[in-house]
Amino acid sequence: MPVRVQRRRGTALDITTLGGPLPQCGVGVVAPFDFAPGPVLKPPPAPQRLAPTLAAPGEDPSSSATRACARHTESTHQTPQGRPSGDDGGLRTGPDRELWRWVPDEVSLHITRTPFVPVEVSLDMARLISEHETLRAAVSALQEVEPRTLAYACTSGSFVAGLAGEQAMCAQMSSASGGLPAVTTSGALLEALADLRVRRLAVITPYTRSVTDSLADFLHQVGIEVTGREYLGLTRKIWAVPYRDVVDMARNVTLGGAEALFISCTNLPTYDVIPQLEAELRMPVLSANQVTMWAALRRIGVRPVGDYQALIDPQARVAALPRPSAGPGAAAPAAPAEPASDAPSDLPYDVPYDLPYDLPYDVPYDLP
């Protein structure tokens, strides 16, 4: 015989005491729709179980990645001119989910795309996806969600016209939004290098030689010495590069006295590989998506999520420094200094607005 369950009415819960939902700080992201024509990857069948997530040593795999997946469904995806002809909606892995992994729970990302450009990754494509009219149209698409800051998430598109071009892009985005602070990936890189006091940088990219040389020229403009560079020579499907290739390039390029490593291109996933590379190379490792989110969140006074990453985590910053060789008479490593009162550090170029966020960690080595 069926069992009849009697439900009891409990005491009503006053949910107004919970104090939620929490207000959200919005970051508007302009990402280029820069995929060259080619086969579209189809999404695989839905698995019965979630695959384990690769996490940094000691990190709960369900922490940042799971939060990122959940919050990703809330993002605003707007393509000004719709899906390109011939694209049937198959899966293309871009920077979207990667960006979310640096974002704390109280922040939402609102991502829009520039119009599709049927050009392979090159200097010509970088110029097309960074035109001022394109930027202003993309920013206008974000205005309805009222973001508090703006970020242009593309490295090549923001360094192709040099330092003056990068600053002009920020000015255009700020003007189109009524004065919001704006940052580009290349500008964020310069801020990160200034914060880390890095002047000698190794660079790896998925680009061709000409695009990689353009990045080196951009860095030379502000006095950054590129100690070594390696590139994959790709013009498409950059999002498919495995971690193994990134690690191999990093090991080869950091042998020339570099103080830090930069992994270029926002279409290149890097979140999981940064802690492992820093532990092996004993130097800060920066990536395009990492510096973009760090700089954007910095402008609204929010610290990003990034355990075991020297740019974000104070303990990782100390651990990423080269250790003096131990031996008879070797001096003990100096204790970290107190945080500087004038943080953040002076940037190697002018920023046309005040940064409201003083980073709460010190730089435990001297300026060169």
Tens-of-pLDDT digits for all 368 residues of the chain? 566 655 566 666 666 666 666 667 899 999 987 543 333 334 444 443 333 333 444 444 344 433 333 333 333 333 333 333 333 333 344 678 889 999 998 899 999 988 887 888 888 888 888 889 889 999 998 988 899 999 999 999 999 999 999 999 999 999 999 999 999 999 999 999 999 999 999 999 999 999 999 999 999 999 999 999 999 998 888 888 999 999 999 999 988 889 999 999 999 999 999 999 999 999 999 999 999 999 999 999 999 998 899 999 988 888 776 654 444 444 443 433 333 333 334 444 444 334 433 433 333 333 33
Evaluated on CA atoms 36, 39, 45, 50, the torsion sign reads negative
Q: Is residue 344 part of a domain?
A: no
Q: Is residue 90 part of a domain?
A: yes
In degrees and rounded to multiples of 5, residue 202 shows phi and psi of -95, 145
> What CATH number does the domain containing 309 carry?
3.40.50.12500
Cβ burial, residue 322 (10 Å; 0-12/13-18/19+): exposed
For the chain, what is the domain count?
1
In degrees and rounded to multiples of 5, residue 6 shows phi and psi of -95, 125
Q: Is residue 314 part of a domain?
A: yes
Q: Is residue 72 part of a domain?
A: yes
Q: Is residue 203 part of a domain?
A: yes
Q: Is residue 178 part of a domain?
A: yes
Q: Is residue 336 part of a domain?
A: no
Q: Is residue 353 part of a domain?
A: no
Q: The domain containing residue 291 runs over which residues? A: 24-39+60-319
Give the global pTM. 0.71
